[in-house]
């Protein structure tokens, strides 16, 4: 109510100022000269660029300016104020309120108050009874300042009114609603997603050598058991060289079923043994396993494939309870080229799973052994010096005959683990 009164009084004072003959004769802008009095007043009360946003509101809305208005305008403004703004206001408390005064007892204790209580008379609201202190009260000025804020924020213009009307109409029809505050908060405070790291190349043995997970002088110990054949294949391979450009490995291994490498080769990298075999340009761990098994010659390629297919029944026999689908009922000439059966889909899925299983088995079958910094320094210092086997065993350069005879190298990890470290960037 107070805010409405402030706007009305601003309208009245602005109209009076516009109609006053003592207006400044300065030259107006062309746009203002073409506006009528009503348009100027509307622009003054609704535009965010109004002069009312830059002045003290109490300089306009005050009792002195109120007295300068016409009697009709004063009476209209008084009708917008509450009854507490007039000197004739009498404080009263409802009879239902706990602080209401108790009714006075009557002489007739059996009398009943059945007559209707007349409504309270409305206080006189006239300019003569208006309390001047109302226009300077903090409550009235706070409402006037709120009007200035709304005016500056363009909340009183036509666009704001149309937006509000459109929102109210949509809210009533159920086609428009405000977002939930939880959803807005989650959208504004969403954690930035980290871009996925692009894989620069395939994760093969060359990638491990490029990142330093495989080094010259490392021993790759292979071990795998084939239960169907009752054979356990074990063989050590020495990383002889790494290509400087492609990072392909050149590996040395003993022929036949011999597992261990020659002891002098493990101590002296320049040792030349004509009986050793060489696997050159090795980057694929599956191809490395096939070549190693060919050298061992106890597990044929067909036997290895049978062992790899054993865990996947879909590759050896059709699924139990299989019912031919609609594509089976069609003649071969009428069958769609892209149509597949459930059995074919199952076989393809099993083949993809078998390929992944073969690769995983190959990565897990190799374990990397590497010299520590101290043993590497000792081996380099003794290069070219013939060391008796007893002394080499005492110095820890050879194993103890229990399968750890790898020239003093300690276990690092499996190739499967190192591949995970290379993929994670550690």
- Of 176, 196, 220, the position where a domain reaches its end is 176
Question: Which whole-number Å values give the CA distances from 302 to 42, 237, 278, 379, in the listed order?
Answer: 95, 24, 24, 42
Same domain, 241 and 308: yes
**Is residue 359 one of the residues assigned to a domain?**
yes
**Is residue 131 one of the residues assigned to a domain?**
yes
Same domain, 374 and 264: yes
Residue 28 has pLDDT above 50, yes or no: no
**Is residue 261 one of the residues assigned to a domain?**
yes
Same domain, 272 and 169: no
Type and span of the H or E element at 19: helix 2-19
Model confidence pLDDT, tens digit, residues 233-285: 999 999 989 999 999 999 989 999 989 888 888 877 667 777 888 899 999 99
Helices 342-365 and 301-309 meet at what angle, rounded to 10? 120
Model confidence pLDDT, tens digit, residues 362-378: 999 999 999 876 555 54
CA within 13 Å, CB half, 80:
15
DSSP sequence for 381-400:
HTTT----HHHHHHTTSS--
pLDDT higher for 191 or 138?
138
Same domain, 305 and 159: no
Q: What's the pLDDT score for residue 306?
A: 85
**Is residue 331 one of the residues assigned to a domain?**
no
pLDDT band of 68, cuts 50, 70, 90: very high
Q: What's the pLDDT score for residue 111?
A: 52
| Domain membership of residue 232 as a residue range | 205-320+342-424
pLDDT higher for 194 or 336?
194
d(CA 340, CA 346): 10
Q: What's the pLDDT score for residue 311?
A: 79
Number of domains present in the structure of the chain: 2
The answer to whether 144 and 6 have CB atoms below 8 angstroms apart is yes
pLDDT band of 344, cuts 50, 70, 90: confident
**Is residue 196 one of the residues assigned to a domain?**
no
Residue 153 has pLDDT above 80, yes or no: yes
Same domain, 131 and 231: no
Most confidently modeled range among 107-111, 254-258, 321-325: 254-258
Type and span of the H or E element at 368: strand 366-370
Same domain, 157 and 299: no
* Mean confidence (pLDDT) of the chain: 77
Same domain, 380 and 291: yes
Helix then strand then coil, in percent of the chain rounded to 5, is: 45, 10, 45
Same domain, 280 and 418: yes
Q: What's the pLDDT score for residue 21?
A: 45
pLDDT higher for 118 or 325?
118
Q: What's the pLDDT score for residue 326?
A: 45
Same domain, 289 and 415: yes
**Is residue 26 one of the residues assigned to a domain?**
no
d(CA 217, CA 371): 8
Same domain, 156 and 261: no
**Is residue 108 one of the residues assigned to a domain?**
no
pLDDT band of 339, cuts 50, 70, 90: very low
- Of 161, 176, 191, the position where a domain reaches its end is 176
Type and span of the H or E element at 251: strand 249-253
Residue 139 has pLDDT above 50, yes or no: yes
Q: What's the pLDDT score for residue 149?
A: 92
The answer to whether 233 and 223 have CB atoms below 8 angstroms apart is yes
Same domain, 230 and 359: yes
Lowest-pLDDT choice from 194-198, 290-294, 373-377: 373-377
Q: What's the pLDDT score for residue 41?
A: 84
Q: Which residue has the tokens 């620069």?
A: 200
Same domain, 164 and 242: no
SS3 156: coil
Q: What's the pLDDT score for residue 232?
A: 92
pLDDT band of 23, cuts 50, 70, 90: very low
Average pLDDT in the 24-53 region? 74
Q: What's the pLDDT score for residue 72?
A: 93
**Is residue 185 one of the residues assigned to a domain?**
no
């Amino acid at each position: 109510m107070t805010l409405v009164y402030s706007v009305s009084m601003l309208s009245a004072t602005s109209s009076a100022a516009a109609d006053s003959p003592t207006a400044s004769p300065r030259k107006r802008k062309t746009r203002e000269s073409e506006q009528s009095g009503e348009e100027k007043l509307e622009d003054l009360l609704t535009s965010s660029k109004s002069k009312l946003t830059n002045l003290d509101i109490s300089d306009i809305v005050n009792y002195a300016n109120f007295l300068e208005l016409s009697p009709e305008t004063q009476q209209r403004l008084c009708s917008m104020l509450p009854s507490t703004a007039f000197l004739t206001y009498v404080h009263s408390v409802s009879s239902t309120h706990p602080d209401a005064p108790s009714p006075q007892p009557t002489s007739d204790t059996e009398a009943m108050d059945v007559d209707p209580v007349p409504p309270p008379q409305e206080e006189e609201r006239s300019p003569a009874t208006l309390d001047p202190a109302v226009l300077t009260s903090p409550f009235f000025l706070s409402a006037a300042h709120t009007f200035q804020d709304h005016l500056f924020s363009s909340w009183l213009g036509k666009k704001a009114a149309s937006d509000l009307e459109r929102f109210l109409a949509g809210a009533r029809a159920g086609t428009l609603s405000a977002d939930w505050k939880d959803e807005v908060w989650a959208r504004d405070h969403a954690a930035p997603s980290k871009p996925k790291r692009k894989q620069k190349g395939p994760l093969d043995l060359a990638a491990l050598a490029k990142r330093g997970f495989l080094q010259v002088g490392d021993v790759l110990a292979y071990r795998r058991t084939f239960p169907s054949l009752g054979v356990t294949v074990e063989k050590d391979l020495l990383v002889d060289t790494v290509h400087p450009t492609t990072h392909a490995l050149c590996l040395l291994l003993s022929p036949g079923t011999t597992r261990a490498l020659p002891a002098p080769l493990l101590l002296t990298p320049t040792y030349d043994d004509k009986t050793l075999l060489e696997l050159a340009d090795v980057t694929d761990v599956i191809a490395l396993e096939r070549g190693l098994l060919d050298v061992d010659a106890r597990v044929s390629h067909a036997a290895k494939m049978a062992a790899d297919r054993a865990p996947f029944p879909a590759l050896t026999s059709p699924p139990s309870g299989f019912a031919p689908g609609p594509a089976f009922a069609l003649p071969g000439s009428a069958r769609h080229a892209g149509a597949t059966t459930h059995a074919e889909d199952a076989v393809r899925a099993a083949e993809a799973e078998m390929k992944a299983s073969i690769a995983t088995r190959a990565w897990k079958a190799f374990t990397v052994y590497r010299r520590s910094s101290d043993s590497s320094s000792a081996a380099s210092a003794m290069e070219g010096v013939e060391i008796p086997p007893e002394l080499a065993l005492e110095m820890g350069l050879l194993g103890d005959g229990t399968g750890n005879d790898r020239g003093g190298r300690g276990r690092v990890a499996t190739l499967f683990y190192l591949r995970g470290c290379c993929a994670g960037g550690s």
